[in-house]
Amino acid sequence: MRYSKEHKQETHARIVKRAATRLREKGAHGIGVADLMKDAGLTHGGFYAHFDSREALVIEAFNYAMDRATERWRKVTAEVAPEKRLSTIVDGYLSATHRDDPGQGCAVPALGAEIARESLKTRKAFALKLDQMIDMITDQIQDVPRKTARKQAMGVLATMLGTIVMSRIAGNGEMSDEILSAGREAALGRATTVKASAKKAKAN
C-alpha cells in the first residue's frame, strides 16, 4: 500500500515523539528500534524508510525533546514580568514534577554523561541545543553586559542540571526535596550576586 506524504510525515513525527520519551527515560542505548517501531504500529524494516541510522533517530529525538523544553521556557517567561523570568525558569525546572517525570523533562540531565561518549556528530547536536539553553537563560539576566550575563547563565544552568541529577539519585524523599531547594537557592543566588557586583562596579 502506498501512503501519502502527509501520512509518512505524521508517522515520522510519532516515532520521534515516542523515541524522545524513551530517550529521557532509558537513555540513548535504551531505545530498542524493534520495540519502538512496534509501538508505532510499524515493522522493524520500516525504520529505514524514516531514518538513515539509529544515530539519526537519537539526534532527532534529542532535538525534539530539547525544543519542547525551550518552548516551555518561552511560554512561562512570556507570562511574567521580566525581573521574575529567571526565577520562574529555575523554580519550574528544579521542581518535584520535573524530577519525578524524566520522560517529559529536560534531556540534558538524563543523557549528559552518555552523550559525552557518543560520536562527534551526536555531541555536536547536543552542544548546539545546550548553547541555545544558555542563550535563553542569558536573556533573562538583565542589567549586566551580555558577556557577563552569558557567563553567569552557564553557572546557573550547570547548577540546575546538577541539582536535577542529584535529586533523582536521592529518590523522591526528604533528602531529594532538600537538594531541589538548595539548588534553587544556589542558582538564583548566582544571578543575584552578579547583578550586585555589576551595580557596585557602576557606582565606582
Enter the DSSP assignment of 30.
G
- Residue ranges of domains in the chain: 62-203
pLDDT value at residue 3: 61
Residue pair 127/103 in contact by the 8 Å Cβ criterion: no
Per-chain mean pLDDT for the chain: 88
Q: Which fold has domain 62-203?
A: Tetracycline Repressor; domain 2 (1.10.357)
pLDDT tens digits, one per residue of 10-59: 888 988 998 899 889 888 777 778 877 877 777 777 787 888 888 888 89
Total H helices, total E strands in the chain: 9, 0
Residues 62-84: tens digit of each pLDDT: 999 999 999 999 999 999 999 99
CB atoms under 10 Å from CB of 9, counted, come to: 12
Whole-model pTM: value is 0.84
Q: What is the pLDDT of residue 85?
A: 96
pLDDT band at 198; cut points 50, 70, 90 = low
| Count of C-beta atoms within a 10 Å radius of residue 192 | 11
Q: What digits encode the pLDDT tens for the residues 75-112?
A: 999 999 999 999 999 999 999 999 999 999 999 998 88
The answer to whether 142 and 58 have CB atoms below 8 angstroms apart is: no
Residue of 188 and 191 predicted with greater confidence: 188
